[in-house]
Amino acid sequence: MKWSNFKMRTKLLTLASIGVAGLLMVGVMSVVDLTRANKDLQQLNSGIQEVTRFSEMKNRLLMARLDLVYMMALQDMVKINEKYDDYNKQFTAIRTLVQEVEHSDLDQDEKRLAATFKDGEEAYAVQGTKLAELLLDAHKKHDQAALAAAVTFGAEHVAPLYKIPAEAIEALNSRNVKVSGELFREANKTAKNKIVVNVILIAVTILASIIISVIIARGITNTLSNVFKTMAAIASGDLTVRSLITSLDEMGMLGKEMNLMGEKLSEIIRRLSDNSLSVSSAAVQMHSTAEQMSTNTEQLAAQASTIATACEEMSATSSEIARNCHAAASDSTKANDAAVIGAKVVEETVLVMSRIAEKVRTTALTVETLGSKSDQIGQIIGTIEQGLITHFMKRRLRRNTHNVTRHYITKVLPQQSAG
């Protein structure tokens, strides 16, 4: 898979991983180097302690020899006793150091040399002690012959014994100094090499991080530059330009979105153009319709004028019709009032006749209770009843008719004539 197709997050994680890995390697190597250096330092410290111990043994052995020499040369008993005490102290310290050396980690040669030193030191100590006692005795007795014999004993029997432990301790000391020096030089060389390796590793890590950072930055800047150019072209009106980014990372996604935006803008512009043509066509059609509506409006105005004139004539006719209708309504009302009055008169007449008929029936019933003694009385009663009813009705009808006629002639007709 191409590097440009990795996601930006993966690229940054790769950069961070390289840095962390480099630092981790440097840290691990530093820990290992420090461990080794610590071990070397411990060995070097041990070697230095051995050198110090051997040097102290050599120096104390030499001091013990000098004490014997001073005892042979001095005449003051106090100083001679001091040198004798110091002599004993020096060998006591030497024996302590020998015990420490025996318990230390020595190789075979060092053990051999240490054993030689121990044997020679003990022999020298025995003879040296004997010499010291001879010197003390001679000085106490102020015996010059004994003093000369003691000096001769020292020169012939004690002095030669010094050479063996002195050479052994010198060999041990030289050997340890050499070993310590070699160990120091090796540790120093190793430390320098490790420093060089760590510096190289850090430099490689930094260089790799810089290279990857530059690659990532260049990829981002180049991609953004392409995107900005595409955006500028689209903003200037060129909707045909497209981004050339083909990677699969975020920048590629941005380029694809930019191309999609350009396509959508082109589609929107195309639709707007189509809609503009449709709107233009509709505007032309609306203009034609407006002109037609204007013509129709003028015709409607003329027709409205004609209709207004007709309406005025109809209004006048309607006014006359209204007046006639009002007169007819008034006549109808008056006739209706007269009819109502006549109906009331008729109702009153019928009511009176009903009352008379009721009374006649009552009278007939009364007559019937008396018994129908003769048909003549019945006929007379019927004739009287019929005559009375007929006379009364005629009379009542004539009166009512007369009243109605008089009301019509005196009130209705004059009003109609006036209207």
Q: Could you give the angle at the alpha carbon of 15 between the alpha carbons of 14 and 17, nearest 5°?
A: 60
Instruction: Convert the pLDDT of each residue in 1-29 to its tens digit.
Output: 566 666 667 777 777 887 778 778 777 87
Q: What is the pTM of this model?
A: 0.46
Exposure string for 93-114, b = 16+ CB within 10 A, e = fewer: bbeebbeebeeeebeeebeebb
Domain boundaries, the chain: 3-228, 329-418
Exposure string for 239-257, b = 16+ CB within 10 A, e = fewer: bebbbebebebebbebbbe
Percentage of the chain lying above the pLDDT 90 cut: 16
Cα–Cα dist 111/85, whole Å: 30
pLDDT at res. 311: 45
Percentage of the chain lying above the pLDDT 70 cut: 65
Among the ranges 45-54, 56-65, 174-183, which has the highest mean pLDDT value?
A: 56-65
Cα–Cα dist 397/408, whole Å: 16
Long-range contacts: 344-350, Cβ < 8 Å, 24+? 345/400, 345/403, 345/404, 346/400, 349/393, 349/396, 349/397, 349/400
Instruction: Convert the pLDDT of each residue in 300-340 to its tens digit.
Output: 556 646 655 644 665 555 456 456 545 544 654 564 565 45
- The CA-atom distances, in angstroms, between 56 and each of 96, 172, 269, 346 are 11, 12, 103, 179
- The CA-atom distances, in angstroms, between 77 and each of 26, 131, 132, 138, 153 are 70, 15, 12, 11, 20
Whether pLDDT at 86 is above 90 = yes
How would residue 164 be classed by pLDDT, with cut points 50, 70 and 90? very high
Q: Contact 11/216 with Cβ under 8 angstroms?
A: yes
Q: Domain 3-228: give its CATH architecture.
A: Up-down Bundle (1.20)
Among the ranges 97-106, 120-129, 372-381, which has the highest mean pLDDT value?
A: 120-129
pLDDT at res. 122: 93
Instruction: Convert the pLDDT of each residue in 196-242 to its tens digit.
Output: 888 888 888 888 888 888 877 777 777 777 777 777 877 777 767 77
How would residue 167 be classed by pLDDT, with cut points 50, 70 and 90? very high
Give the Cβ contact number of residue 122 at 10 Å: 16
Tokens of 278: 């449709």
Instruction: Convert the pLDDT of each residue in 25-38 to its tens digit.
Output: 777 877 777 787 77
Comparing 70 with 415, the larger pLDDT belongs to: 70
Nearest residue to 68 via CA among 50, 53, 87, 51: 87
Whether pLDDT at 274 is above 70 = yes
